[in-house]
């Protein structure tokens, strides 16, 4: 398991899923890592949210390989998202929702937590959010896994150049605590990039809504493992 398409922040722009499909056809990844924010900040009615999530999971199932997903802050109420997610996992064997859960396959463990990270407040009816202590509890499965390679998905970026004004200091602390080999975060396209936090390679692929997607290939040399795919793709190590 060495090649992944990496995406996040569809933000309700569902026509961008066609772009993701074309990239999957071209690059033939073994898996897709999706770091949250399916719906936008105006998610629509109850029925519209259900239809949007169902369309999203159906599109991911058609990409080939496996797909792991976490929700974003706007993918609320969480119980509704998880109901659709459960149905999607039953209907599509290659789709796994790794929100507070772990997916293991051929030497890799993938775990994640969707939503905002806060000092004290857990989820509300309108937003998915977790206090630091709750986040650490839900991610404990990553510690316990005996797989040789570990991947963490978070729907907020850390402080610094990958996050800018949207950066979250708790995100950075969680990455530094769990030390996965790879961490995918959902940030803005303006701050897309790759950063090394201790032993972890952290990737902000930019917004899928902007047609910004990353491709990760563990077989390449370290400074060429991540390629950003858009109208003018560049390697992370390029000047």
pLDDT at position 137 over 90: yes
pLDDT tens figures, 81-128 = 999 999 999 999 999 999 999 999 889 999 999 999 998 777 677 889
pLDDT tens figures, 140-197 = 988 889 999 999 999 999 999 999 988 999 999 999 888 899 999 999 999 999 999 8
Query: Of the candidates 51, 43, 101, 96, which has an alpha carbon nearest to the alpha carbon of residue 72?
Result: 43
Residues in CB range of 57: below 8 A, 6 or more apart: 69, 84, 85, 88, 91, 92, 95
CA distance 72 to 153: 11
Domains in the chain (CATH in brackets) are 3-235 (3.60.21.10)
Residues in CB range of 28: below 8 A, 6 or more apart: 3, 64
231 vs 39, higher pLDDT? 39
pLDDT of residue 238: 41
Ramachandran sector of residue 148 (left: φ over 0; alpha: ψ -120 to 50; beta: rest): alpha
pLDDT at position 31 over 60: yes
Task: Confirm if 7 and 214 have CB atoms less than 8 A apart.
Answer: yes
pLDDT at position 13 over 80: yes
Confidence of residue 239 (pLDDT cuts 50, 70, 90): very low
Mean pLDDT of 19-45: 92
């Amino acid at each position: 398991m060495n090649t992944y398409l990496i995406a996040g922040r569809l933000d309700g722009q569902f026509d961008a899923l066609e772009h993701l499909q074309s990239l999957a056809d071209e690059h033939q990844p073994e898996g897709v890592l999706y770091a949250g924010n399916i719906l936008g900040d105006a998610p629509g009615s109850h029925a519209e949210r259900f239809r949007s999530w169902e369309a999203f999971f159906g599109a991911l199932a058609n990409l080939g390989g496996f797909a792991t997903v976490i929700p974003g802050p706007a993918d609320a109420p969480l119980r509704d998202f998880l109901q659709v997610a459960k149905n999607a996992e039953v209907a599509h064997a290659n789709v796994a929702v790794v929100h507070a859960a772990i997916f293991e396959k051929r030497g890799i463990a993938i775990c994640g937590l969707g939503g905002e990270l806060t000092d004290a407040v857990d989820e509300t009816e309108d937003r998915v959010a977790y206090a630091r202590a709750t986040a650490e509890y839900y991610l404990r499965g990553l510690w316990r896994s005996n797989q040789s390679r570990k991947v963490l998905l978070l729907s907020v970026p850390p402080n610094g150049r990958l996050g800018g004004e949207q950066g979250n200091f708790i995100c950075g602390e969680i990455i530094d605590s769990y030390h996965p080999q790879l961490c995918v975060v959902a940030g803005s396209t303006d701050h897309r990039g790759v950063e090394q936090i201790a032993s972890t390679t952290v990737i902000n692929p930019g917004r899928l809504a902007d047609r910004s997607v990353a491709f990760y290939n563990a077989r390449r040399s370290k400074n060429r493992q991540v390629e950003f795919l858009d109208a003018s793709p560049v390697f992370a190590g390029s000047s």
